[in-house]
Amino acid sequence: MASYDYDLGVIGGGAAGLTAAAGGARLGAKVLLVEKEPALGGDCLHCGCVPSKTLIASAKLRHRMLRASDWGLPPMELPPVDFSKVAGRIRSVIAHIQRHDSPERFCSLGAKVEFGSPEFIDEHSIRLNGATVSANRWIIATGSSPAIPSITGLRHTPHLTNKNLFALESLPESLLILGGGAIAVEMAQAFQRLGSAVTILQRSSRLLSNEDPDMADLVQKRLESEGVTVITGAKPRFASVAYGLRHVGYTLASGEEGVASAKALLVAMGRLPNVYGLKLENAGVAYTDKGVPTDARLRTTSPDIFAAGDVLGKWQFTHAAGYEGGVALTNAVARLPRKAEYTFMPKATYCDPELACMGLSESAAAKAGIAVTVQRERFEDNDRAQADGTPEGLIKLILDRSEKVAGVQILGARAGDLLCEWIAALSGGVKLSSLAQAVHPYPTLGEINKRVAGEFLAPKVFDGVAPKILKVVFGLKGRACG
């Protein structure tokens, strides 16, 4: 039997890699974790989820302060934002979380951490910092990087991506954003609220083109109501820099041409998997520009090498990466045939109001020709939403032919948190009737989950045979008025 330096080698110190390395060490495996950046945590911690949500929180608070009169408070006049202090808060939050993702902590768990750029020699060995290191099994979790589209002049035009956006020390007077996905929407709203004049150029006919149109349209209207300029159906033609401004020329679907300009330019047009530089071909691992293909157990074309996280090119979310890291670990170390299951993979866009979804959407069902029933409930009918001053939004249940919940869409305050109840219910096989009968504390936003379930079931109870049976058995007299 061959002898290796480690039982498990993990390449990448983001959500997937950290999950796999920590879990492997706690299972008793001798684990090596390799990270090419100078610190663990991946994009999520350093230039993704954590800094963006920290920025969003600051922007949301300022927005509320400016709307104090809406809550019956004296109106406020605020000075311009000192963005260096916002940036300082972002750094402090990252530093606090970084302690949990430190080499010392992983060493305490039993996993060794090495920094450097690894290259595969064969299916069991890599070259790292001039030395050869081997492992019985490997997990590739190298993440992704911002995609820079082939727009004439863009690479020669100074621009921001998520990699350097949160390193800004001053607030740009104006900001032009290429893209209309979650990152673009979140940052557009946040920077507009902080004081930038923001313009979005989106190639598709609407923002958040992967979401249901009714939900996406409400998000777009909210951004526009706050002053964000949204130009949809705009195909970028060129980018340039002149007179201290970044310029992007575009063509609309009508054929009309225009130019959008701003002090700063943010490119948010998708992600590319980090597959190059690893010499995966030496290990027999197939890959493309779209990612590393795997089977359901997250095993690559090399049987002793697994992959997880953004490098797969599938669900590019931190929570998905963590989940996949656990699936890959189970197969690689425990040798249990666990398969990745994505039916109810949740996702959330942290605009205000938030948009959180899981499972089948209404538009996806229509496109696939699947007959569904849609049950809606508005946030304005929720007492807590009224008390909090957040009545905008709705929840949609997507039910299949058998009246089982196939998907949930929530647009509203704390939508990401509200979705968690559905995640637990659907993952645990909880019946819709059980959720409708559950007691929720009053007044909470969570009552909207109970109410949408109850409103769907109510006609079956109150308009069915039950009233007729009770009338016959107990002599009920029926309506008292109307």
Residue 469 has pLDDT above 80, yes or no: yes
pLDDT band at 472 (very low <50, low <70, confident <90, very high): confident
CB neighbour list of residue 384: distance below 8 Å, 6 or more residues apart:
443, 444, 445, 447
Say yes or no to pLDDT of 324 above 80.
yes
Sequence spans of domains, the chain? 6-146+272-334, 154-269, 353-462
d(CA 468, CA 459): 14
User: Averaged over 148-171, what is the pLDDT?
Assistant: 96
What are the backbone angles phi and psi of residue 167, rounded to the nearest 5°?
Answer: -95, -5
467: pLDDT confidence band, cut at 50, 70 and 90? Answer: confident
Average pLDDT in the chain: 96
Residue 263 has pLDDT above 80, yes or no: yes
pLDDT of residue 466: 81
**pLDDT of 482 higher than 80:** no
**Residue 202 reports pLDDT greater than 80:** yes
pLDDT at 425: 93
**Residue 389 pLDDT class (50, 70, 90 cuts):** very high
How confident is the model over 23-51, as a mean pLDDT? 97
Tell me the percentage of the chain whose pLDDT exceeds 70.
100
Model confidence at 479: pLDDT above 90: no
Check residue 470 and give its pLDDT. 83
Q: Of 210, 148, 175, 191, nearest to 351 (Cα)?
A: 191
Residue 464 pLDDT level (bands cut at 50, 70, 90): confident
Q: Which amino acid is at 182?
A: A
Order of strands, edge to edge, in the sheet holding 234-242?
A: 234-242, 245-252, 257-262
CA 207 to each of CA 188, 272, 376: distance values in angstroms, whole numbers, following the listed order: 12, 21, 22
Q: What is the mean pLDDT of residues 269-273?
A: 96
Grade residue 461 by pLDDT with cuts at 50, 70 and 90: confident
Identify the band that residue 1 occupies on the pLDDT scale cut at 50, 70 and 90: low
CATH number of 154-269: 3.50.50.60
Closest by Cα among 280, 324, 288 to 305: 280
Q: What is the mean pLDDT of residues 47-57?
A: 97
Please name the fold of domain 353-462.
Enolase-like; domain 1 (3.30.390)
Domains 6-146+272-334 and 353-462 share a fold: no
> What Cα–Cα distance (Å) separates residue 45 from each residue in 20, 51, 196?
17, 7, 25
DSSP secondary structure, 230-245, as one string? EE-SEEEEEEEEETTE
For 264, phi and psi rounded to 5 degrees? -130, 150
pLDDT (tens digit, 9 = 90+) per residue, 430-459?
999 999 999 999 999 999 999 999 999 998
Which tokens sit at 64? Answer: 């509320």
Q: Are 141 and 14 in contact (CB under 8 A)?
A: yes
CATH 3.50.50.60 fits 6-146+272-334, yes or no: yes
d(CA 398, CA 395) in angstroms, rounded, equals 10
Confidence band of 22 (pLDDT split at 50, 70, 90): very high
Determine the average pLDDT of the residues in 210-234: 97
- Tell me the pLDDT tens digit for each residue of 72-97: 999 999 999 999 999 999 999 999 99
pTM over 0.75: yes
